[in-house]
Amino acid sequence: MYVIQAAAVRGRCAGCLMAQSGRRDAPELPDFSLLKRLARDQLIYLLEQQHEVDKLYKVELKPIVSTADQLCFLIRPRIQTVKWISDVVNLDKAAGRLRRYKIIFTPQKFYACEAVLEEQGVFGDVTCDEWAFYLLPLDDDIISLELPEFFRENFLEGDQRWVGAAGGALRLIHSLYGPFSKVYGIGQCAKMVYESWREQVEDGEQKTQQPEIGNVFLIDRDVDFITPLCSQVVYEGLVDDIFRIKCGSVEFGPEVTSSDKSIKVMLNSQDKVFNEIRNEHFSNVFGFLSQKARNLQTAYDKRRGMDIQQMKAFVSEELKGLKQEHRLLSLHIGASECIMKKKTKQDFQELLKTEHSLLEGFEVRECVSFIEEHINRQISMIDSLRLLCLLSLTENGLLPKDYRSLKAQYLQSYGIEHLLTFSNLKQMGLLVEQQPGETLTVMESKVGKLVNDKTAGKLTDAFSSLAKKSNFRALSKRLVLIPKSGEEYDLRVPRDMAYIFSGAYVPLSCKLIEQVLERDGWTGLEEITRMLNGHEFAVSGGANGTESRIKADSQRIVLVMFLGGCTYSEISALRFLGRERGYKFIVVTTAITNSGRLLEALLDNHP
């Protein structure tokens, strides 16, 4: 459970923090800075064609005030934005102003966007380019496609417009760091991305080079919705939940910096303080930070009794580093305090207790009334929705009477326009009503009866009607996602990936990855994949004699691609798994997500 024990870990923390070096033979990660250079160079090239960039503006869908005779727009391929640009052009035309216009779409343009230009009669007045910027390395082991819209457009709208982009991203990585030897995957989108990648590779050229990345795992976000909906309690995840990390950078406001200005900080492995706490359960963070502060004090104290020469050396060699560390340390201490304050205020303890009970399937009625009261008191709209979804996902849907009553109360508390939100959630299978007579307990008794009736056919019928359900309980039992309760779980010495949720739950997504890598495929997991609605695959590259050349190291570098986003907690879990099993994981994701972003993408309460 979630306890802050700053005092208890004092002194031990430096040793008990998970070994940063990992296993002696852990392979090195490939260098992804090349990706960034490529993308940057192309953008510079594109802009260079424009000569003398005068000013950069942010697109705000407002009229443009500029005397320049050329306008250049760098945009996402969205119809709404293109419509706005068409209006700008048409306004200029009406006013008799002559300008040249250029749109640079990133990462690619869509036919629908050009169709808008055509319809608005500005095709030809506007020229188009593409900035093929697919992959942004956020850190040594995280690459983001920065496509948050992927999630809603693919899973809710059923629009496959980004499949090609994901396939293209994979192709780029393959051509630079491949060839891959194995590709595993689960999910319908994963399959399509695999196919798109495969066809693009076939169309293009192939290379023989030393592979740096051996294995690839593709996973759809809808295979596991539970994990991203849980409250994050690992430091990096908490920072994301509370301050929202954007493109690997966070803005700490005055309440953190304890001054009147905000500070933007890059959060990655270059920040030595952050690097040591990012994967830690929050209860360990205070102890670590205070130890670090004491060490720093000692280092500063060395100055005393120095002679001039020593002092000179100290100032030129150590002082800068110490100051940098000092700055980072005070920022992270400020952030931790702020997190504590906010979490205490919102009764975080009780919220976590409810989440854990839901995961465990324990005292579900109490959870329902907790959620109801949460809604009644108009506490955080997103948290209420998150709890409702967790309830639905873990219980295979809400009882019809609960569904009706909680939905009605939700609409009363947060606005009736959320009708659309509920319809979206239902379509995604995130918040549904149990079909009458299909609750698990009813099913179980049915099955019990049928065994006596010797009607095996009916048995499978009964089961197949459960096929579309989340089946969380059964999955959790089979994969042992919930550690036995009552056992002491020492968060300072994590024994499995459950530590990222205070020892209460092993993330389903990461557990699947672990199992598939361990078994080198899906063999033995048939029951599991059936409950996950199938769409699993495991394929190996052709036997064209490359195997002998495959470096053993590359086989232990696993690229995991999350289609629809992944959370920092999942990344922490994979890092832990990597250290335990001697893998190095590289996470490629369409975007970094968390419960807030995931649900906000599905809200429809605004025009």
Partner 1 sequence: KRVSVVLFCQTGVYYGSKLELRAKPEDDEYWNSSKFSAFTFDDEDDEFTKMKESKRAVNSILVDDDDDDDDVEKVSWSGEPIGSISWSVKETASSFRSSGEQSFPKIDTAPSLPKQGSGYSLSSLFKAFTDTSTRAYAPELRKPKSECKDYMSDWSPEETVRRMRKGRAYSLERFRSLQDKLLLLDEAVSLHDGNVITAVLIYLKRSLSKEILFRELMVREVALRHYVHYLKEMGEQKLLLMQYKEHLNIKDEGRRRDFLKSCLSLPFSQDDAMHVQDHYTLLERQIIIEANDKRGEAEIFRKYPRKASILNMPLITTLYYSCFYHYGEPEGTFSSPANIRKTFRISEKQYILTALGARAKLKSWFDVDSLFNTKNWLGYTKKRSPIGFHRVVDILQKNNAPAQVLQEYVNLIDDPELRLSLAQKYKCHDIVIDTYKDLKDRQQLIVYQGKVERGSHEDRKIEELINNMQIRWKN
344 touching partner 1, by CB under 8 A? no
3 touching partner 1, by CB under 8 A? no
Per-residue burial over 446-461, b if 16 or more Cβ lie within 10 Å, else e, is beeebeeeeeeeeeee
> For 234, which DSSP code?
B
Instruction: Please state the closest distance from residue 570 (CB atom) to partner 1, in A.
Output: 20
Q: What whole-number distance in Å separates Cα of residue 210 and Cα of residue 552?
A: 11
Q: Minimal CA–CA distance to 184: which of 145, 224, 220, 219?
A: 219
Instruction: Please state the closest distance from residue 284 (CB atom) to partner 1, in A.
Output: 25
Q: Which long-range contacts (CB under 8 A, 24 or more apart) does 206-211 make?
A: 206/179, 207/175, 207/178, 207/179, 208/179, 208/546, 208/549, 209/178, 209/179, 210/549, 210/551, 210/554, 211/177, 211/178, 211/179, 211/180, 211/181, 211/546, 211/550, 211/551, 211/554
Rounding to the nearest 10 degrees, give the CA dihedral for residues 311, 317, 319, 325.
-150
Q: Which stretch binds partner 1 (CB under 8 A): 176-184, 288-296, 501-509, 569-577?
A: 176-184
320 touching partner 1, by CB under 8 A? no
151, two tokens: 């999630």
Q: What whole-number distance in Å separates Cα of residue 314 and Cα of residue 312?
A: 5
115 touching partner 1, by CB under 8 A? yes
Considering only residues 454 to 493 of the shown chain, the ones binding partner 1 according to CB under 8 A are: 467-468
The one among 270, 297, 310, 485 contacting partner 1 by CB under 8 A:
270
CB of 34 or CB of 480, closer to partner 1: 34
Binding mask 221-250 for partner 1 (x = CB under 8 A): -------------------------xxxx-
Q: What whole-number distance in Å separates Cα of residue 333 and Cα of residue 273?
A: 10
560 touching partner 1, by CB under 8 A? no
138, two tokens: 């956020």
Considering only residues 16 to 55 of the shown chain, the ones binding partner 1 according to CB under 8 A are: 33-34, 36-48, 50-55
The one among 11, 254, 415, 582 contacting partner 1 by CB under 8 A:
415
Separation in Å, CA 132 to CA 46, 144, 387: 11, 14, 39
Considering only residues 372 to 391 of the shown chain, the ones binding partner 1 according to CB under 8 A are: 372-373, 376-378
The one among 429, 494, 507, 564 contacting partner 1 by CB under 8 A:
429
Reported as type and span, the H/E element at residue 184 is strand 182-186
The one among 15, 96, 158, 305 contacting partner 1 by CB under 8 A:
158
Q: Which stretch binds partner 1 (CB under 8 A): 203-211, 306-314, 332-340, 480-488?
A: 203-211
Binding mask 535-554 for partner 1 (x = CB under 8 A): x-x-xxxx-x----------
3-class DSSP state of 547: helix
349 touching partner 1, by CB under 8 A? no
> Quick one: 500 exposed, middle or buried, by C-beta within 10 A (0-12, 13-18, 19+)?
buried
The one among 57, 121, 313, 549 contacting partner 1 by CB under 8 A:
57
CB of 20 or CB of 270, closer to partner 1: 270
Instruction: Please state the closest distance from residue 62 (CB atom) to partner 1, in A.
Output: 11
Q: Which stretch binds partner 1 (CB under 8 A): 8-16, 301-309, 423-431, 512-520?
A: 423-431
